[in-house]
Amino acid sequence: MKEVTLKQIAENLGISITTVSKALKDYPDVSKKTKALVKKEAKKLHYKPNVFAVNLRTKESKTVGLIIPEVVHHFFSSVINGIIEQAEKKGYLVIILQSNESYKLEKKQIDLLISKRVDGIMISLANKTVDISHLKRVKELEIPLLMFDKISKMIDCSKVVINDREAAYAATKHLIDTGCKRIAHFRGALLPQNSIDRFLGYKKALEDHGLKYDSSLVYICENVDYNDGINAAKQLLEDHDDVDGIFTITDLAAIGAISVFNEKGIRVPDDISIMGFSNWFVSSAITPSLSTVDQPGYEMGKVAFKQLYKEMKARRKHEDFEPRTIVLETKLIKRNST
């Protein structure tokens, strides 16, 4: 079916294209009678505005880019829901890309979003991202940029995060408060800031409560997933027989560890207590249910888009914009694993 144009509506009604355009936009200098006629005709012909033409005039694409490490992860899926809800309210389409924790892929995706002329970009960095020149290019092109969850402190842009160090401290302290004396940590890769901060929070809690830090109790989980938890738990049992608590960087790693202990008849929490991080929905469904830190993914997504929108709006109006870091609160969830 051929696209219906303003010209066709104008010819059918015997009025000018300008009058049709103004009537559809409810301009006050067009009479109510004319507006009603135009809108009736537009509806009859199934007229739809040409989005590309509108975007060309306004110099907006009405799209934003979102790059995340994993789509299937419960936390990131919650972030996506929060972002999309807010974006739809403002008439924006969200282009969602998954970096698979790859720096090279993340860099290509940034280039793609730039070529698509998106109005803004939101990103949670891949674990392997060290060089941030691709993000500096976004800033140089004056494209509004916002980072969330996994960020870099080396780039000046708005950020939405939690206090990972404080949350990890609280999680480790909870293990100490329940009587744990030898606490292991299943940490993430060495690079991401959230992995670093959760490790530092764990270490500080030990020091503040008179427990000696032992580097041999720290196990790196590169993918911070279920299989990493299984492998780290098996290695822990080979290396140490006196560990009575574990703080893991994610719920998935904790659930992997619990599966190993259940299989080997090691009782949780009687023999060993386990603390997760994120509050994934399955955390309350497993046996025993997992104590964890509630990380507000949905709220983070909502706040992230709202902050990006403020910057995009300021850019349209050629106004100055001061980037800000927004820190969301976390909550300790105490369940049966501790």
Task: Tell me the C-alpha distance between 79 and 126, whole Å.
Answer: 16
Q: What does the pLDDT read at residue 53?
A: 57
Does 249 fall in a domain?
Answer: yes
**Do 198 and 226 share a structural domain?**
yes
Regarding predicted confidence, which is higher, 189 or 237?
Answer: 237
Identify which has the larger pLDDT, 237 or 29. 237
How many domains would you assign to the chain? 3
| Burial class, 156, CB count within 10 angstroms (exposed 0-12 / middle 13-18 / buried 19+) | exposed
Is residue 176 in some structural domain?
A: yes
> Does one domain contain both 158 and 168?
no
Does residue 335 fall inside a structural domain? Answer: no
Which secondary-structure segment (H or E) carries 317?
A: none
> Is the link from the previous residue into 323 a cis peptide, with omega within 30 of 0?
no
Asked whether 284 and 325 are in contact (CB, 8 A), the reply is no
Residues 65 and 156 in one domain: yes
User: What is the chain's Cα-based Rg?
Assistant: 26
- Do 103 and 222 reside in the same domain of the chain? no
More confidently predicted of 183 and 40: 183
- pLDDT recorded at residue 177: 97
CB 244 within 8 A of CB 183: yes
CB atoms within 10 A of CB 190: 11
Output the pLDDT for position 107: 96
Query: Per-residue pLDDT tens for 282-330?
Result: 899 999 999 999 999 999 999 999 999 999 999 988 899 999 999 999 9
Same-domain pairing of 121 and 157? yes
pLDDT over 60 (residue 73)? yes
Non-local CB neighbours of 92 within 8 Å, separated by 6+ positions: 62, 63, 64, 119, 309
Average pLDDT, the chain: 92
Same domain, 168 and 201: yes
- Domain residues for the domain of 25 are 6-49
pLDDT in tens, 115-174: 889 999 999 999 889 899 999 999 999 999 999 999 998 999 999 999 999 999 999 999
Buried b / exposed e across 110-134, counting CB within 10 Å, b at 16+?
beebbeeebbbbbbbbbbbbeebeb
**217 & 274 share domain:** yes
pLDDT of residue 50: 66
Mean pLDDT across 190-202: 92
Residue 106 and residue 15 share a domain: no
CATH number of the CATH domain containing 107: 3.40.50.2300
Considering the domain architecture, whether residues 44 and 70 belong to the same structural domain is answered as no
Residue 315 lies in a domain: yes
In a domain, 259, yes or no: yes
Per the CB < 8 A criterion, the answer to whether 38 and 9 are in contact is yes
Residues 175 and 288 in one domain: yes
pLDDT of residue 97: 97
Question: 183 and 302 share a domain?
Answer: no
Residue 190 is predicted with a pLDDT of 86
Identify whether residues 156 and 175 lie together within a single domain: no
Of the candidates 77, 85, 2, 6, the residue with the CA atom closest to the CA atom of residue 306? 85
- Residue 54: inside a domain, yes or no? no
The confidence band for 183, taking pLDDT boundaries of 50, 70 and 90, is very high
Please give the single-letter amino acid code of residue 253: A
